[in-house]
Amino acid sequence: MKQRFDRYIVWRVLAISFLLVSACSCVSWGGGSQKAYDPPGDRGPIVILLSGFLGMNDAHRSYAAEVARLGYYAVLLDGKHFNPKYNKSATAELRRVIEEAQSSPKALPGKAAVIGFSMGGGNALTLAAGMPDLVSALVAYYPMTTNISNMRSFVAQFKVPILVLAGEKDTFMNCCLIESMRAMEAAAKEGGKTFELVVYPNASHDFIWVNDKAYRAEDSADAWQRTTKMLSLYQPLH
């Protein structure tokens, strides 16, 4: 098992290193607050990614590049900019970003899948989950839930399939506590939503990033496999 994940780590680091070089065809919009990564082929389905509070760092850029490598047109955004608590135009701006992506010659026609991390995951749940006209599905990694005052009414606006990946031991700034994820899951089940919560018992915040002290190789690999399966189900390449 350990050898398998050691090989996975080496493969992933090499792939990411290659992608960071080969992704030079990506374009920056909005003063660097958005970056698009072209698929290897002519065109690909759209995936929008919202970073965590620290913005579009190397880890998020590597992840977006790896999504593009699968065959998607990946657009990485600064997730904190789309917090509706501080940006009253967040909903309109996310819609605009998706519509602009749809007009790219590198994008296939159709909706976008959305992936968010931490604050970006919480903002994705707040905004993108209520956009069934533009969004096909949503994946949220340990999403921020501190802005949710009423979980039942929050979940009521979910209109797309959702996958949440969370760490049982996540206590980072109390932003993304597992109790809130389970309350979300219960409200989604009660409301008949297409929703799945995956909890990693020994994981904390940022468990997917190789360079983070919380990194857990096996959990990271499983989360990636579940994410790609979600994309294949609701945002297929063909």
Q: CATH no. for residue 210?
A: 3.40.50.1820
The one-letter amino acid code at 27 reads V
The tally of domains found in the chain comes to 1
Q: 227: which residues sit within 8 A by CB, 6+ positions away?
A: 115, 139, 163, 165
**Nearest-angstrom CA–CA distance, 67 and 63:** 6
Pairing relationship of beta strands 44-50 and 27-29 according to DSSP bridges: unpaired
Bin 142: left if φ > 0, else alpha if -120 < ψ < 50, else beta: left
Q: What is the pLDDT of residues 211-223, one digit of tens each?
A: 999 999 999 999 9
The pLDDT value recorded for residue 7 is 40
Write the pLDDT tens digit of every residue in 31-48: 348 999 999 989 999 999
The percentage of residues in the chain with a pLDDT greater than 70, rounded to a whole number, is 87
β-pair type (27-29, 34-37): antiparallel
Range of the domain at 45: 2-234
Is residue 26 predicted with pLDDT exceeding 90? no
The amino acid at 43: R
pLDDT at residue 38, as a whole number: 97
